[in-house]
């Protein structure tokens, strides 16, 4: 009976996660098609760059630390630690949000050198609305982590799905009347709503002498994670630096193609990779190296096959897709053709986004976090050179090709190193059973 309940919960969580992904993609698509690729949407995407990067680096790292730390506490200690941790995290995110918002007039021209004065001014205006979203996102992260530490997964994901769907509904109702500023307010409002709906679960305000020790533990574990995450998450910032020099709408179109491919990769990853992570760990504990190799190879091959079918479908039906995007999306033929071309190129990157985590998970199952970290840092350094060369040679197309090439090289090197380590482990086991 418990196994049946666990399976039902897993399926429900997967469904809620997919709803959030689809709603997020739908929001991006609606903004792009309702307003059209141009300066307004380019400025909105640019204004989101730093807030989203902060959320990806600090927020995700904090969530990865908070859940195991809070889950290790006694139920009474979780309640006492909740509010001090929330105040500490809230103060930290408030400082970051203030620096991002008030400093925008200084760093926006540096980060987007290709923007003209009008695009800079609109980006700065939108950042005044988006910057508080960093604070609300941080508070949401704390609230979500507290709930997950208490095994309240379904409730948290349900609220996230509701907030994502309401964001889409708000865009449909308000975007055409109030323009791109409505999208900015709704983005910030989404995180504010999540925090306000989840935080009541935390209970009454309490404090204990152990709260400072919990915060100290979180901070000690958080620092190295933020450092490594910073390396991994700066790719979109680099892309948007180059794309600020693209023709109006280029940044918006590249961003949507990347978002769509990322959403597809996330769904494939959840279907192919997430379910086998425990099996990889158990196989390594049993010293069953052949099973590990079989699992990794089969999932990477299957992921590549799914991607190849996707690329073939886009290529075969390209004229129909371009016509559909042009007529329904309110774009010119050139813009529609560019969007479909970018999606076709970046699908190769999506393949490695979907299957790469199985290689990382295999290394983690072996207790080796050094190689994944080194691969991430080396891959990012390589991507800088590839993207500079790609953009100079072929503009926005070259940037897309460089992005895909970077991901493919990273996956290839990771597979080679993993196969080497697993073979060495198999020889060691056969020599010393």
Return the pLDDT at 2.
46
Return the pLDDT at 65.
76
Return the pLDDT at 205.
53
CA 242 – CA 138 distance, rounded (Å) = 29
Identify which of 238, 246, 53, 200 has the alpha carbon closest to the alpha carbon of residue 131: 53
Return the pLDDT at 13.
74
Return the pLDDT at 400.
94
* pLDDT, one tens digit for every residue, the chain (433 residues): 444 455 576 677 778 888 888 898 899 989 998 888 989 999 999 999 999 888 888 877 777 777 777 766 666 666 666 777 778 888 888 999 999 999 999 999 999 999 999 999 999 999 999 999 999 988 888 877 777 776 677 778 888 889 999 999 999 999 999 999 999 999 999 989 888 887 776 555 555 556 677 778 778 877 777 776 777 778 888 899 999 998 888 999 999 999 888 888 887 877 777 777 778 878 888 888 888 889 888 888 988 888 888 889 888 999 998 998 888 877 889 999 999 999 999 988 888 888 888 888 888 888 777 788 788 888 888 888 999 999 999 999 999 999 999 999 999 999 999 999 888 888 887 776 6
| Cβ-proximal residues to 140 (8 Å cutoff; 6+ apart), any chain | 191, 194, 195, 198
The alpha carbon dihedral of 268, 272, 277, 278 has a sign of positive
By the 8 A CB rule, do 25 and 231 touch? no
| Cβ-proximal residues to 410 (8 Å cutoff; 6+ apart), any chain | 352, 356, 375, 379, 382
Helices (H), 55-179: 60-71, 75-102, 104-111, 117-149, 153-178
Cα end-to-end span (Å), the chain: 39
Return the pLDDT at 210.
63
Return the pLDDT at 208.
59
């Amino acid at each position: 009976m418990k196994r049946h309940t666990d399976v039902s919960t897993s399926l429900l969580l997967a469904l809620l996660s997919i709803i959030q992904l689809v709603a997020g993609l739908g929001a991006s698509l609606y903004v792009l098609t309702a307003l059209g690729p141009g300066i307004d949407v380019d400025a909105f995407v640019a204004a989101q760059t730093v807030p989203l990067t902060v959320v990806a680096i600090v927020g995700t790292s904090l969530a990865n630390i908070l859940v195991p730390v809070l889950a290790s506490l006694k139920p009474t200690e979780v309640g006492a630690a909740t509010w001090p941790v929330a105040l500490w995290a809230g103060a930290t995110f408030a400082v970051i949000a203030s620096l991002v918002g008030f400093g925008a007039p200084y760093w926006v021209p540096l980060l987007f050198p290709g923007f003209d004065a009008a695009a800079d001014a609109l980006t700065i205006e939108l950042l005044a609305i988006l910057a508080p979203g960093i604070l609300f996102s941080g508070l949401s992260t704390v609230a979500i982590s507290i709930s997950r530490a208490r095994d309240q997964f379904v409730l948290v994901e349900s609220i996230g799905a509701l907030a994502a769907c309401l964001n889409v509904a708000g865009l449909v109702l308000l975007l055409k009347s109030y323009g791109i500023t409505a999208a900015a307010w709704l983005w910030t409002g989404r995180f504010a709503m999540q925090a306000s709906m989840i935080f009541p679960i935390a209970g009454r305000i309490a404090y204990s002498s152990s709260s400072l020790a919990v915060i100290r533990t979180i901070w000690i574990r958080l620092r190295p994670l933020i450092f490594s995450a910073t390396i991994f998450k700066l790719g979109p910032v680099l892309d948007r630096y180059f794309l600020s020099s693209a023709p109006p709408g280029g940044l918006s179109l590249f961003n949507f193609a990347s978002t769509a491919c990322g959403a597809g990769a996330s769904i494939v990853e959840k279907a192919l990779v997430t379910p086998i992570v425990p099996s990889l760990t158990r196989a390594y504990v049993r010293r069953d190296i052949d099973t590990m190799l079989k699992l990794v190879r089969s999932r990477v091959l299957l992921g590549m096959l799914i991607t190849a079918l996707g690329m073939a479908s886009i290529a075969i039906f390209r004229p129909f897709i371009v016509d559909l995007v042009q007529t329904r999306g309110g774009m010119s033929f050139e813009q529609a053709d560019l969007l479909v071309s970018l999606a076709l190129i970046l699908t190769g990157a999506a393949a490695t986004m979907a299957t790469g985590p199985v290689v990382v998970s295999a290394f983690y199952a072996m207790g080796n976090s050094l190689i994944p970290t080194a691969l991430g840092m080396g891959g990012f350094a390589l991507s800088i050179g590839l993207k500079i060369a790609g953009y100079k040679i072929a503009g926005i197309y070259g940037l897309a090709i460089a992005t895909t090439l970077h991901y493919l090289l990273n996956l290839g090197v990771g597979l080679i190193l993993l196969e080497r380590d697993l073979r060495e482990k198999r020889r060691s086991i056969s020599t010393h059973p």
